[in-house]
Structure 1
Amino acid sequence: MAKQKHLMIFRFSAMGDVAMLVPVLRCLYAQNQNIQITLVTRDRFAPIFKEFSELQLMTPDFAGTHKGIKGLYRLYKALKQTKPHRIADIHHNLRSRILRLFFRLSFIRVKAIDKGYAERKRLTHPTKKTMKPLTPQHYRYVEVFSRLGFALDVDKHEFPIKPGLPKSSLEIDLPADRKWIGIAPFAAHPGKVYPLDLMQKVVGYLQQEHSVFLFGHGPKEAAQIHVWAKAYPHVIPNALEMPFSDQLDLIANLDVMISMDSANGHLAANFGVPVITLWGMTHPFLGFSAFGQNNHLLVDREKFPKVPTSAYGKTMPKGYRDAMRTISPEEVIEMVLEKI
């Protein structure tokens, strides 16, 4: 029997990038015998990986115990005790670079992700733009693991059996003849959020014949969700009160998900749920599309040629606030109806 290889992976944030690791992990386990994997990530992301019974999670406390250089050295000592043979840094930020250095000094093989900064800069340049698709993030992850000697082909990915519905969802009175549509109408940056007045038209239409589950986080998003839930009888806000683990099980059982360029799209795609992504200041050419999905609705680049303006949608050029209005509610509704 071949000696077990212990792979340690660094990916601390953000949720969407962490979620994109899931299909790659499935392939790692399926295509490599005698592999042990330790994932170093934040505690709040642990439910994303609950399907992996053999996965060891280590959750650093960057605000406390593992803060600063001394804290990172303390974290390194704790990680080293698990005796990893290979380190895959698929985050490549300051913290992970420092940890990589510590492990290299211990003569442990380390490889880091190539984020393609130069290509990304050309794609997001406001005037001298090169509209060429970049390597998808999932394949950037694969490339790191391949360089560490692990066989990996995500084209052979297989979805697991979907989880059952959480108990918290069974309390909802849902007609059996309605499709379940998830909508995650928010994102971290305004440049990635579809105008709420247009999204209301989408919600209002779809809830007439289907059950619409709304997903959000924080008091501001919750307030908007409750406004729609009060206005429309088949809009369901219950996900707001569910633990994150239960939300994931609910998402897995949706018939379709409407998402911005945000984490919810990746979470749904991990279960094979059709995902319709509305792109604002970002663009699928940047490589952050949901796994196995090609259901894109894009801003009109003839009117707004600076799109994509940045990799994460932070940059909003003057006069671009209404760019997402070039995606009509009718287009969104039509694509949803095609998928269900």
Structure 2
Amino acid sequence: MAKILVIRFSALGDVAMTIPVIASFANKFPEHQITILSRSSFSPLLDISLPCNVKLKGVDLKSNYKGIKGITKLYKELKNEHFDFVADLHDVLRSKYLRFLFWLNGYKTAHIDKDRKGKKELARAKGKKLVQLKSSFERYQDVFKKLGFEFDLSFESIMTDTIRARFLNSEAYQKRENERWIGIAPFAAHRGKIYPIEKQEEVIRQLSQDSNIHIFLFGGGQLEKQILNKWETMGGNITSMAGKLSLDKEVLFMNKLDVMISMDSGNMHLASLVNTPVVSIWGATHPFAGFMGWNQPYSNAIQIDMQCRPCSIFGNKPCIYGDYRCMSSIPEKMIVEKVNSIIYK
């Protein structure tokens, strides 16, 4: 039996992308024990997603393990667990230093190759190399291969009969016969990844005209809740889910959707984990960077070809034109037609 420490501190979408890989690894090697080093807040998601030979060690890097002293303290605690391998799926300053301490003391370590050169060429202003890069799933898998573990990515969904019985049988929302459920997650961390709110509202208006459709809105912070609550008043078949479910139940609820409309954001990855089709909307970023949802077809990615796209890998750069035309140029009709082609196929 081997003990493997897997490091991936954040963010939610990136942690969600580790799940198909870690689950595939854990199922292939049930005799090994895997410990994921990440945020404690991700525990509900990881608990329902991973086999019994995987556990989470939650850490708070802003208080208990802050700075070099904090990471050194964390290392001293972790070394007492006698890991055999360290897989760094993050490769940022904190994880690099922690990995270095393990390596310095004789542990076998490996880390993700983020292909920064390839991503820079993909997003540069002139002379872009618009080619498909490796997915994050493949990059995570490569880290384990460097440690000597060969396995296929066999993950399909976190849904099992046990999970269904545990979380969904008592769910208050019940689908009527012939009713289609559409999820809409209209927000993202950066403006370059957000479809204009007024255009998204029009998408909701058009879809809600169909009496066989029920729309569920997903979002977090206070401003987002205000927008979703406003949209909820547009029709009796529109429901805001903001603040109504815990993270694990929200993810499992997504399994009941016929389709999810999402930005290039964490919700795209959460819906993908329960095998729900996702119509993803792309602006400043591009699927070629390797961040598509698990098993999501490129045919469901909504985007407009422009010479300036992609201008950013993470969507955090300001638009050079100031109007984010990569998003505002996407017709509402394109999204509505793609959704209808999925739910009425």
Q: Same fold judged by TM-score > 0.5? A: yes
Conserved in 2, the CA contact under 8 Å of 1:73 and 1:99? Answer: yes
**In structure 1, distance between residues paired with 2:21 and 2:330:** 32
> Is the alpha carbon distance of 1:174 and 1:236 closer, same or farther for their aligned partners in structure 2, counting shifts above 3 Å?
farther
Name the SS of the counterpart of 2:184 in structure 1: strand
Aligned counterpart, 2:21: 24
Name the SS of the counterpart of 2:43 in structure 1: helix
Q: How does 1:244-323 map to 2 (within 5 A)?
A: 244-294=247-297, 295-301=300-306, 305-315=307-317, 316-323=319-326
Q: CA deviation at 1:253?
A: 2.1
Aligned counterpart, 2:86: 87
**In structure 1, distance between residues paired with 2:280 and 2:241:** 22
Q: CA deviation at 1:204?
A: 1.6
Name the SS of the counterpart of 1:22 in structure 2: helix
> Is the alpha carbon distance of 1:168 and 1:321 closer, same or farther for their aligned partners in structure 2, counting shifts above 3 Å?
farther
**In structure 2, distance between residues paired with 1:186 and 1:14:** 15
Aligned counterpart, 1:195: 196
Post-superposition Cα deviations, 1:45-81, rounded to whole Å, max 9, x if no partner, equal: 1122123233121111111111111111111111112
Q: CA deviation at 1:159?
A: 2.9
Post-superposition Cα deviations, 1:19-58, rounded to whole Å, max 9, x if no partner, equal: 0011111210222241110000001111221232331211
TM-score scaled to structure 1, two decimals? 0.93
1:182 and 2:183 matched: yes
Name the SS of the counterpart of 1:223 in structure 2: helix
Name the SS of the counterpart of 1:50 in structure 2: helix
**In structure 1, distance between residues paired with 2:54 and 2:223:** 35
Name the SS of the counterpart of 1:114 in structure 2: coil
Aligned counterpart, 2:220: 217
**In structure 2, distance between residues paired with 1:232 and 1:108:** 59
1:50 and 2:47 matched: yes
Aligned counterpart, 2:246: 243
Question: Residue type of the partner of 2:182?
Answer: I
Post-superposition Cα deviations, 1:268-326, rounded to whole Å, max 9, x if no partner, equal: 1111111111001000011101011121111231xxx1111111001122244232122
Q: Where do 5+ consecutive residues of structure 2 fail to align?
A: none
1:327 and 2:322 matched: no
**In structure 1, distance between residues paired with 2:80 and 2:184:** 43
Conserved in 2, the CA contact under 8 Å of 1:32 and 1:151? Answer: no
Q: Cα RMSD over matched residues?
A: 1.7
Q: How many residue pairs align between the two structures?
A: 333
Conserved in 2, the CA contact under 8 Å of 1:32 and 1:150? Answer: no
Structure 1 vs Structure 2: percent identity of aligned residues?
Answer: 35
Post-superposition Cα deviations, 1:57-110, rounded to whole Å, max 9, x if no partner, equal: 111111111111111111111111221100000100000011011101210000
**In structure 1, distance between residues paired with 2:312 and 2:16:** 21
Q: Where do 5+ consecutive residues of structure 1 fail to align?
A: none
With 217-226 and 32-41 compared, the bigger mean Cα shift is at: 32-41
> Is the alpha carbon distance of 1:238 and 1:132 closer, same or farther for their aligned partners in structure 2, counting shifts above 3 Å?
closer
Q: CA deviation at 1:111?
A: 0.4
**In structure 1, distance between residues paired with 2:124 and 2:235:** 42
Q: CA deviation at 1:173?
A: 6.5
Q: CA deviation at 1:239?
A: 4.1
**In structure 1, distance between residues paired with 2:175 and 2:231:** 17
**In structure 1, distance between residues paired with 2:22 and 2:34:** 9
**In structure 1, distance between residues paired with 2:169 and 2:72:** 41
Aligned counterpart, 1:126: 125
Question: Residue type of the partner of 1:314?
Answer: N
TM-score scaled to structure 2, two decimals? 0.92
Post-superposition Cα deviations, 1:3-28, rounded to whole Å, max 9, x if no partner, equal: x1111100001111100011111210
Q: CA deviation at 1:161?
A: 3.4
Conserved in 2, the CA contact under 8 Å of 1:40 and 1:59? Answer: yes
**In structure 2, distance between residues paired with 1:298 and 1:335:** 12
With 174-183 and 138-147 compared, the bigger mean Cα shift is at: 174-183
Conserved in 1, the CA contact under 8 Å of 2:251 and 2:274? Answer: no
Q: CA deviation at 1:174?
A: 5.2
Aligned counterpart, 1:73: 72
Q: CA deviation at 1:169?
A: 7.6
**In structure 1, distance between residues paired with 2:175 and 2:156:** 30
Conserved in 1, the CA contact under 8 Å of 2:259 and 2:277? Answer: yes
**In structure 2, distance between residues paired with 1:160 and 1:264:** 15
> Is the alpha carbon distance of 1:167 and 1:160 closer, same or farther for their aligned partners in structure 2, counting shifts above 3 Å?
closer
